[in-house]
């Protein structure tokens, strides 16, 4: 039985992304977030991880032998909140109104988050995609908010409009799912392990049950299994029914 997802979806085509990090910068600018104090970690991946002041970042991984030519390929993954249809973070949150789901599907952490009530921060530990992080200055959990304020205003998220290679597409669910299926068919001709992540067979919710198995509003096209990208749940290879 196919899962019904309403609202908006975002497709990130990792095969097109050139890791310019324009999305990282525009996300910081729109949310007025400060820069990270970083150091070289032996990779162009910078910052090294998501944080309470970094809602999206590019993961860099190298793999060999994905095509018959056995080239070394650089795999880029734009990490961020998946905006689960049944978000685990909201299910475990003890503070009413601290996490809300907008009509667009955006899962938003609000100012109602109260660290005097919620001391164990289960939204961070229970997220199947390891997304929310503590903002130490505010002592509150933070993450990508799908730019819900822009969506309400009829605009796409700022990372979408900034991407120079058009690797990020935003729109209605049926349009994005159709686009993902068509692109996957093209990619499979070259990359036999290409897939839509999180796993479509699990409702786009990831093998660990992210999204309550009901799907996510953010999906990726990958040219290899999610483990090659340094991310945990997902994989698959199926198309939307
Ligand atoms: S702006 Fe587009 S091409 Fe640049 S890193 Fe982000 S997703 Fe990739
Ligand atoms: S990816 Fe994690 S933080 Fe984002 S909606 Fe899903 S459970 Fe919540
Ligand atoms: S949707 Fe908005 S908040 Fe989320 S990564 Fe893109 S720019 Fe940042």
Peptide bond connecting 47 to the previous residue in cis, omega within 30 degrees of 0: yes
In the block, residue with structure tokens 């998946």: 82
What is the predicted pLDDT for the residue at 235?
Answer: 35
Output the CA 71–ligand 2 centroid distance in Å: 34
Per-domain boundaries in the chain: 88-144
CA-to-CA dists, residue 85 to 67, 194, 218, angstroms:
34, 24, 10
Residue to probe by mutation, ligand 1, list 11, 13, 22, 60, most atoms within 8 Å of CB: 22
The alpha carbon of 129 and the centre of ligand 2 are apart by a number of angstroms equal to 7
Indicate whether residue 157 lines ligand 3 (CB < 6 A).
yes
Residue 161 scores a pLDDT above 50? yes
Q: Is 148 exposed, middle or buried (0-12, 13-18, 19+ CB in 10 A)?
A: buried
Closest-CA residue, ligand 2 atom 6, reads 84
Omega cis (within 30) before 82: no
pLDDT at 202: 47
pLDDT at 213: 53
Whole-number pLDDT of residue 217: 94
Q: How far is the CA of 76 from the centre of ligand 1 (A)?
A: 9
How far is ligand 3, taken at its centre, from the CA of residue 192, in Å? Answer: 30
Handedness of CA 192, 199, 235, 51 (dihedral sign): positive
Atom 4 of ligand 1: nearest residue by CA position: 20
What is the architecture, at CATH level 2, of domain 88-144?
2-Layer Sandwich (3.30)
Using CA atoms, how far apart are residues 207 and 26, in angstroms rounded to an integer?
31
Q: What is the pLDDT of residues 10-47, one digit of tens each?
A: 999 999 999 999 999 999 999 999 999 998 888 889 99
User: How many Å apart are CA 195 and CA 237, to the nearest integer?
Assistant: 4
Bridge partners, residue 134, by sequence? 141
- Cβ atoms 72, 65 nearer than 8 A: no
pLDDT digits (tens, 9 = 90+) for 93-104: 999 999 999 999
**Could you read off the pLDDT of 120-137 as tens digits, one per residue?**
999 999 998 999 999 999
Give the pLDDT confidence of 175-232 residue by residue, as tens digits: 999 999 999 999 999 999 899 998 765 444 433 334 445 689 999 999 988 888 988 6
Average pLDDT, the chain: 88
């Amino acid at each position: 039985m196919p899962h019904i997802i309403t609202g908006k979806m975002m497709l990130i085509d990792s095969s097109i992304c050139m890791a310019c990090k324009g999305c990282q910068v525009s996300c910081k600018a729109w949310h007025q977030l400060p820069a990270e104090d970083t150091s070289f970690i032996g990779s162009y991946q910078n910052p090294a991880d998501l944080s309470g002041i970094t809602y999206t970042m590019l993961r860099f991984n190298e793999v060999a032998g994905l095509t018959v030519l056995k080239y070394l390929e650089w795999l880029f993954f734009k990490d961020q909140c998946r905006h689960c249809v049944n978000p685990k973070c909201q299910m475990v949150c003890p503070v009413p109104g601290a996490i809300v789901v907008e009509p667009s599907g955006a899962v938003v952490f609000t100012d109602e988050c109260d660290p005097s009530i919620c001391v164990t921060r289960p939204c961070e530990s229970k997220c199947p995609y390891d997304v929310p992080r503590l903002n130490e200055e505010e002592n509150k959990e933070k993450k990508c908010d799908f730019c819900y304020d822009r969506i309400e205003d009829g605009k796409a998220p700022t990372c979408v409009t900034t991407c120079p290679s058009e690797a990020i597409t935003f729109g209605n669910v049926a349009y994005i799912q159709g686009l993902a299926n068509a692109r996957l068919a093209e990619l499979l001709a070259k990359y036999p392990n290409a897939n839509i992540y999180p796993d479509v067979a699990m409702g786009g919710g990831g093998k660990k049950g992210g999204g309550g198995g009901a799907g996510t509003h953010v999906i990726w096209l990958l040219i290899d299994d999610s483990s090659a990208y340094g991310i945990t749940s997902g994989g698959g290879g199926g198309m939307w029914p």
